[in-house]
Amino acid sequence: MKFFVDTANINEIENLVPTGFVDGVTTNPSLIAKQGGDIKQTIKSICSIVEGPVSAEVTATEHNKMFEEGKFLSSIAKNVAVKVPLTVDGLKTCKKLRNEGIMVNVTLCFSAAQALLAAKAGATFISPFVGRLDDIGQKGMNLIEEIVVIYENYGFETQVLVASIRNQEHIIESALIGADVATIPPKVLNELYKHQLTDKGLKAFLEDWHKTGQSILPK
């Protein structure tokens, strides 16, 4: 399972890259706005520190303008995946960008029917938003199960990129289902390391070790 980081914050990405866990990055207009800088410069900087796909989202809503924006965003770096919303114009744009060999991430997916359309439009990634479905009382993970089965039934190559992840359980359930990618906020990614028995066990090991008076490296 690939891990993408869901942020436009360069410092957060730079801190995570050395862990080897960062297979890509996703941004959206809200994350770019939160970061505060110029979108072109931000995407360029992220692409220079991450080798994998970096999603940059169009903000036009009409097909021709979306396509123009998508072409522009993809010219920033070769690892840009253009993000388009799951609308009629978005899927038309997806098909056209894919015909030109540009990676496309279809975002704001909330149903299996939408995911089926995105795969038929040739999307590289489909982004179902599990957290936002949970927020309205639905079970977001059910959607991931449905999409994985549908894509397997027909051999679609579109990768299932689980988005709007809020906690570890979303990641584990996505992995059990066999989703291709999880895009994870840095805060949640950092929580994956933690277990109280790890802390407790390490503390006990070190206390016992110090009692020996030894050091591993020559003094």
Question: How far is Cα 106 from Cα 14, in angstroms, rounded to an integer?
Answer: 26
Q: How far apart are CA 189 and CA 22, in angstroms?
A: 10
> Does 95 qualify as catalytic in the annotation?
no
CA gap 165, 177 in Å, rounded: 15
Residue with tokens 């970096």: 54
Residue 42 binding ligand E4P, by CB under 6 A: no
- What span, in angstroms and rounded, lies between the C-alpha atoms of 134 and 15? 30
Between 26 and 79, name the residue whose CB sits nearer to ligand E4P: 26
Q: How far is the CB of 33 from ligand E4P (least distance, A)?
A: 12
> Which residue in 71, 78, 83, 96 is the catalytic one?
83
Q: Which helix (H) or strand (E) holds 2?
A: strand 2-6
Q: Which is nearer to ligand E4P, 26 or 158 (CB)?
A: 26
Query: Could you say whether residue 3 binds ligand E4P (CB under 6 A)?
Result: no
Residues 158-187 that bind ligand E4P (CB under 6 A): 163-164, 183
Q: Does 132 bind ligand E4P (CB under 6 A)?
A: yes
Burial of 207 (0-12, 13-18, 19+ CB in 10 A): exposed
Min CB(9)–ligand E4P separation in Å: 13
Q: How far apart are the first and last CA of the chain?
A: 43
Q: Least distance from C-beta 14 to ligand E4P, angstroms?
A: 19
Active-site residue set: 83
Q: Give contact residues for ligand E4P (rule: CB under 6 A).
A: 6, 26, 28, 107, 127, 129, 131-132, 163-164, 183
